[in-house]
Amino acid sequence: MNHQIRPAGSQLPELSDEQFVRWQALLEERTGNRMPEQRRVFLQTSIGIRMREIGCKDFSEYYTKVVNGPSGAIEWNTLVDRLTVQETRFFRDPDSLEFVSQYVARTLKTAAAHETLEMWSVGCSSGEEAYSLAMVADYHWGRAGRQYAVTGTDISTFVLKKARTAGYSTAALGWIPHEYQNDYCNLGDDGKVHVVDSLRQRCCFTQVNLLNLSAFPLQSQHVIYCQNVLIYFRRWRRKEILSELAERLVPGGILVIGLGEIVDWHHPLLEPVKGGKLTAFVRKHNDTKMESDRR
């Protein structure tokens, strides 16, 4: 039986079962993200709106356009911005960020004087998560006159542009703890809340597809923060991504993921953090011996 879905009151074309499967496969092949049946209407609507913008009336015709030639690659980049989840906010998970804050404060006491604290926000979306990490880092390391850097990565070029502007609606201020608001936020002439320049300059944003993570050169991270990203991938792919991230940590560094995003996963370089309010791992200090033992 061939089901057809048409949102009420919509002029969008219908998405057949066969077309849905084709678009599912393309999205997972190129981004790793799964599009379950429950999100079928979202997929149809997102693609349909883009088709209407460029005057295309047929899903098959648009599919052919997306997968062929240089113009198809450009169109795919535009479409993937619509299809990737971009929900985020400042200090979205207080328990995880408190864990990061405690780690950052602890590390400051033992780090070499010349050492730079390196933090990575994986799937940073429009930047709120990366700037939250930067606020935590500056509160401890910046005030102590020490260097830190935050890298934010995402597959969507659209949200990365927004992240670089560091301007957000005034409603965003409500999520930022009061001890950070005065020091790290300003109200701009445009009516938006802006992250202060001194903090913004410590953050850089770049496009990364997690399927091509091995080609991304970032290494020696003290904190890798990867929350609400893995849930869109199949379990075997989650393990591959986490294993790649584990290799990017310094000894003693921490990997923080979303609660419940993976269960019963173990990695020889990592020690799980005990606690029911977050899912995190610490890279062991005896890496050299472990690598030798594995060989």
Amino acid at 288: T
Average pLDDT over residues 167-177: 95
**pLDDT tens for residues 193-225?**
999 999 999 999 999 999 999 999 999 999 999
Domains annotated on the chain, with CATH:
17-83 (1.10.155), 94-294 (3.40.50.150)
What is the total residue count of the chain? 295
Query: Of the ranges 12-16, 87-91, 162-166, which one carries the lowest mean pLDDT score?
Result: 12-16
What pLDDT is attached to residue 177?
Answer: 95
**pLDDT tens for residues 111-129?**
999 999 999 999 999 999 9
Averaged pLDDT score across all residues of the chain: 90
What pLDDT is attached to residue 65?
Answer: 94
Please give the residue that has the higher pLDDT: either 6 or 22: 22
Output the pTM of the full model. 0.88
Average pLDDT over residues 258-266: 88
What pLDDT is attached to residue 291?
Answer: 43
Q: Cα 227 from chain centroid?
A: 7
Query: Of the ranges 66-70, 73-77, 153-157, 272-276, which one carries the lowest mean pLDDT score?
Result: 272-276
Whether 66 has a pLDDT exceeding 50, the answer reads: yes
Average pLDDT over residues 47-67: 92
Whether 287 has a pLDDT exceeding 90, the answer reads: no
What pLDDT is attached to residue 11?
Answer: 62
- Helices of type H across the chain: 17-31, 40-54, 59-67, 69-83, 94-110, 128-137, 157-165, 178-184, 197-200, 235-247, 287-294
Extract the tokens encoding 105. 């404060």
What pLDDT is attached to residue 3?
Answer: 43
What pLDDT is attached to residue 12?
Answer: 64
> What's the DSSP call for residue 191?
S
What pLDDT is attached to residue 166?
Answer: 96
The set of long-range contacts for 143-147, using a CB threshold of 8 Å and a minimum separation of 24, is: 144/108, 146/108, 146/111, 146/115, 146/116, 146/117, 147/115, 147/116, 147/117
What pLDDT is attached to residue 264?
Answer: 84
